[in-house]
Amino acid sequence: MENNLALEHKNAELILKVGWRLFQQKGFRGVSVDELCLECGLSKPTLYYYFHDKETLFVQVLQYQLHGFHAVIERPGTLTERLQCTAASILESFQTQYSALLHDREHIKDLNNQRHIREAFHCELFDPLIALMRVGIEQGELDGDDPELLSLVFLGIVNNFIGRSGEQALDKTALAQKLTNYFLKGTIKYE
């Protein structure tokens, strides 16, 4: 019985990981169930045993990949350290801009699935980042009065460099540090 549970967990995790890679490469509409099965080495009935349909799989893939971002954002440390870790985690986790995955929401027909995607992004990434920006504003570390806008600016900066760290001749951690520095200090040199 224990071996069956381990195999089921292994199969579900394999489907989630392969689905994540394919959905990032081709988008929701570009990935077929047949391709997922082929890449996983599993039959359609096996895939459907774990995930009711492709739409449900897409939602669960996003939930799986976003899980834990809140812990990265909420970890102890300075504002700079926490933002650098968040940027590095985003750069490490995503191969394509996360905005492309959000755009794929328009292809999701089930309203509950749309809600689950929205909740995953908000609970795991956006809301904790807004809370961090709010603390930064309250402690005088950030200039501004709109933590949501600051969160969008930060995410926009990082999003533009997803999958491009090699172009900058930097590893993802160094790129995250550089992007966070630009976000916090800007590019104008004061003398």
| Rounded mean pLDDT, 146-175 | 88
Query: Is 191 domain-assigned?
Result: no
Same domain, 126 and 91: yes
CB 19, CB 58: distance < 8 Å = yes
| Rounded mean pLDDT, 179-183 | 95
Same domain, 39 and 95: no
Residue 7 in tokens:
């195999």
Find the CATH number of the domain harbouring 8: 1.10.10.60
| Rounded mean pLDDT, 58-66 | 90
Q: Inform me whether the pLDDT recorded for 131 exceeds 80.
A: yes
pLDDT for residue 11: 86
Show the domain range for 117: 67-185
pLDDT for residue 2: 52
Same domain, 30 and 98: no
Q: Inform me whether the pLDDT recorded for 3 exceeds 60.
A: no
Q: Total structural domains in the chain?
A: 2
146 in helix, strand or coil?
A: coil
Same domain, 47 and 132: no
With cut-offs at 50, 70 and 90, classify the pLDDT of residue 186.
confident
CB 97, CB 157: distance < 8 Å = no
| Rounded mean pLDDT, 7-24 | 86
Q: Inform me whether the pLDDT recorded for 113 exceeds 80.
A: yes
pLDDT tens digits for 25-51? 888 888 999 999 999 999 999 999 999
How many residues are there in the chain?
191
Same domain, 104 and 166: yes
Average pLDDT in the chain = 88
Find the CATH number of the domain harbouring 179: 1.10.357.10
Same domain, 80 and 171: yes
Cα gap 19→88, rounded to integer Å: 22
pLDDT for residue 109: 87
